[in-house]
A = this chain, B = another copy of it.
């Protein structure tokens, strides 16, 4: 089986990571690579690490250029996916790395993103209960945000074992903020400094985490979410806490996590005494997590690590495309990090 794919937004970080993974995918043939303002430039100028594609030139992101592929990956700024997808044909698998189709609630969309809600697509987090089946054979997939991925996987097995109010502080590298030049993302600013942003529930990923955990719970779960920017290119480490429900102890929590992820190829509950680091998942599709309880507070603490560009974006996109195409879910993906 050879699947012909295109990547729209191939000059950015998500696009580059998609191509890095797809170059190692045995069933894929890489077709059109498109961009907005960077159209016309050699790919090498924007993705110098992708030597096998060094002679490619970026084309314009248009429906015509993207036509004729089995799968189109969209790595575009928010708000650009719906119109483009509408012109790609219902038989084409469209995998959207942007936010346009993640939220099911139109009011939530309006509040957090503004503008008209483009509707929701099957949500690309197969490890969440009920999601894998919806992805098999799907033709439209909304890839989750990076923070919602790590936070939801860290907390989903605890739903029912904790009070429905959770706290997430997620420390992230800078690539999640994208490649558009901004003064606060300059190396001189981020190296040697830590900063919080979107504090007080002000980050757009908050409603997505809330949506995921509430769906698992079958009732509203409140999410206190604070992202922190740290000086590294890739990786998110999320520290998640919640008050244990009455009568729940550490053993029961651990058993729940073991049961939830025993058969998951990418989510790894570490042996007791080992703690996740983002360095260990760099470049891989793995999620590493550890869970414990704080005896003095009757509180659950989960720490989880992902690579925001891999499992947090492009790896999830490939994983879901595999499901949609009927390929083994792990095809072309790895759980081996690049460390140190």
Q: Are A192 and B334 in contact (CB under 8 A)?
A: no
Interface size class for chain A?
35 or more
Q: Which of A2-10, A63-71, A270-278 contacts B (4 or more CB under 8 A)?
A: A270-278
Please state the number of chain copies in the assembly: 4
Q: Are A337 and B49 in contact (CB under 8 A)?
A: yes
A31 at the binding interface (Cβ < 8 Å): no
A327 cross-chain contacts in B, Cβ below 8 A:
none
Q: Are B187 and A231 in contact (CB under 8 A)?
A: yes
A299 cross-chain contacts in B, Cβ below 8 A:
224
In whole angstroms, what is the CA distance A49 to B235 when docked?
13
In whole angstroms, what is the CA distance A283 to B293 when docked?
36
A301 cross-chain contacts in B, Cβ below 8 A:
199-200, 224, 226
A152 at the binding interface (Cβ < 8 Å): no
With both beta carbons as reference points, the residue of chain B lying nearest to A48 in the complex is identified as: B280
A162 cross-chain contacts in B, Cβ below 8 A:
none
A196 at the binding interface (Cβ < 8 Å): yes
Which residue of B175, B181, B186, B200 contacts A174 across the interface (Cβ within 8 Å)? B186
A295 at the binding interface (Cβ < 8 Å): yes
A286 at the binding interface (Cβ < 8 Å): yes
The list of the 7 closest CB pairs from A to B, nearest first, reads: A193-B279, A49-B337, A181-B181, A187-B190, A169-B169, A200-B292, A194-B237
10 A–B pairs (Cβ distance < 8 Å), ordered by A: A51-B284, A171-B194, A186-B187, A187-B190, A191-B233, A192-B234, A193-B340, A194-B232, A195-B275, A199-B301
Using a CB–CB cutoff of 8 Å, the interface residues on chain A facing chain B are 13, 16, 20, 23-24, 42, 44-45, 47-52, 54, 165, 167, 169, 171, 173-175, 177, 179-183, 185-197, 199-201, 206, 222-224, 226, 228, 230-237, 239, 241, 268, 270-271, 274-284, 286, 288, 290, 292-297, 299, 301, 303, 305, 334-340
